[in-house]
Amino acid sequence: MVMLHFIACRGLLVSKMYETAKSIVHNLVSLIDEYGYVLNGARAYYSNRSQPPLLSSMVLEIYKRTHDLALVKQSLPALLKEHQFWNSGVHKVVIQDDKGSNYTLSRYFAMWNKPRPESSTIDKETASKLLNVSEKQHLYRELATAAESGWDFSTRWMRNHSDLTTLSTTSIVPVDLNAYILKMELDIAFLAKTVGENCIAEQFLKASEARSDAMNSVFWNDKMGQWLDYWLTHSNKCEEVHRWDARKQNQNTYASNFIPVWIELFNSDKVTVKKVKGSLQDSGLLCDAGIATSLINSGQQWDFPNGWAPVQHMIAEGLARSGLKDARSMAEDIAVKWLKTNFAAYKKTGTMHEKYDVESCGAVGGGGEYTPQTGFGWTNGVALAFLEEFGWPQNQSIDC
């Protein structure tokens, strides 16, 4: 249930609830002041794992609408600290290509090797088929790390797609995490410049260039037109240089393979957008009621047939802002399908949902290990953001 803040915050901004949005930023900044990173949730037992880093996006969106320089000044030191957290110690990964160039990227890595306090019974049961303590501790870290990524759980992190004990989240360099950190670098550069911190701005522009190079070299697969997660051979030794090997790109189709299109640096490149759009069109992920998370029906909640609001939002917004007419109309089509399914399910159940079954309009999502939640901050936020971005097409019925 992470990543909620940023997307919910978008909804608040559409609703002109600026003070509430700023208060969320203040809360997250105070977590960084205290712990050095945004916790998985604001509870004592979430203190050993973070969440997808989207605070810079929130500060930027609020600034763009309110021009609140004080908020930028107050947030900047925390953003620098958060950037440091994701680019040091166990989170930092160096990969060397066959020409000897080194690329530095980031990975999720929970600082926790016990059952997750909020799912202790389930985690112990999952680990019960492992024989010794060190294997169990390893699995507990992988479970907490998958929770840190927001994609808990998914075949994306599993060596064997039908065996959760093969979860290997720390051995994977994730495309979406690095897209968020690239955005963080660009956001920090912009925000720093805004408050006259030109050296910081300069430094973060350089960092963003290095990361986009790294993403193009390590993740980009030109033949597929997607950015692919990268599997490491050894997960626990930090300060080690990994040799890049094309066979270690995860070739399975996940919606996360398209998340970089959200970032202006990629969506302003027409050649890339055309390729990515064609690839998404042919991927099998575009379904009747939105973008599926993957093509694998594993019973895990971050897999087929579930669709999640933040994923629809980032891909559609990226395509829409590319300036290409075709890409914008694909984005609008995704938004219309998503809003229709939100509305149909709302009429049927009286609530918005955390996830939807994208195979048919009005179907809510299932799977996973807890009762599906209703409410729901990020779904509400994305519905409002889509309506703000696209309006509602005159000739479209709101019904399925």
Ligand X SMILES: *[C@@H]1O[C@H](CO)[C@@H](O)[C@H](O)[C@H]1NC(C)=O
Would you state the structure tokens that stand for residue 36, as one six-digit string?
């050095």
Nearer to ligand X, 39 or 182 (CB): 39
Nearer to ligand X, 341 or 380 (CB): 341
The answer to whether the CB of 244 falls within 8 A of the CB of 96 is yes
Q: Shortest gap between Cβ of 133 and ligand X (angstroms)?
A: 7
* Residue whose C-alpha is closest to residue 356's, from 398, 309, 295, 300: 309
Minimal distance in Å, beta carbon 120 to ligand X?
A: 13
Verify binding: residue 236, ligand X, rule CB under 6 A: no
Task: Choose which of 162, 236, 268, 349 interacts with ligand X (CB under 6 A).
Answer: 162
395 binds ligand X, rule: CB under 6 A = yes
Q: Output the CA torsion sign for 141, 142, 147, 152.
A: negative
Residue 121: exposed, middle, or buried by beta-carbon count in 10 A (0-12, 13-18, 19+)? exposed
List, by residue number, the catalytic residues.
Answer: 152, 354
**Does 96 participate in binding ligand X (rule CB under 6 A)?**
yes
Q: Which of 20, 23, 84, 102 binds ligand X (CB under 6 A)?
A: 102
The answer to whether the bond into 310 is cis (omega within 30° of 0) is: no
* Residues in contact with 351: Cβ distance below 8 Å, sequence separation at least 6, in sequence order: 374, 375, 376
Of 278 and 393, nearer to ligand X (C-beta) is 393
Choose between 244 and 346: whose C-beta lies nearer to ligand X: 244
C-alpha torsion 120→125→128→130, nearest 10:
-80
Q: Which of 128, 160, 236, 281 binds ligand X (CB under 6 A)?
A: 160
Block residue for tokens 């030191």: 77
Q: Which amino acid is at 267?
A: N
Task: Between 66 and 113, name the residue whose CB sits nearer to ligand X.
Answer: 113
Q: How far apart are alpha carbons 6 and 25 in whole angstroms?
A: 9
Q: How far apart are CA 208 and CA 340, in angstroms?
A: 37
Amino acid found at 288: D
For the chain, how far is it from start to end, CA to CA, in angstroms? 28
| List 233, 393, 398, 399, residue binding ligand X (CB under 6 A) | 393
**Interface of this chain with ligand X, residues 48 to 87, rule: CB under 6 A:** 48
Among positions 81, 114, 193, 274, the unique one binding ligand X when judged by CB under 6 A: 114
CA-CA distance, 209 to 356, in Å (whole number)? 36
Binding test (CB under 6 A) with ligand X, winner from 34, 163, 213, 282: 163
Instruction: Output the CA torsion sign for 180, 185, 186, 190.
Output: positive
Read off the tokens for 289: 């009621």
Q: Is 88 in the site for ligand X (CB under 6 A)?
A: no
Question: Count of residues binding ligand X (CB under 6 A)?
Answer: 20
Least distance CB 265 / ligand X (angstroms): 23
Residue among 134, 233, 349, 351 that touches ligand X (CB under 6 A):
134
Residue among 20, 30, 84, 101 that touches ligand X (CB under 6 A): 101
Contact call for residue 241 and ligand X (CB under 6 A)? yes
Q: How far is the CB of 158 from ligand X (least distance, A)?
A: 9
Q: Residues in the site for ligand X, rule: CB under 6 A?
A: 48, 96, 100-102, 111-114, 131-132, 134-135, 160, 162-163, 241, 393, 395-396
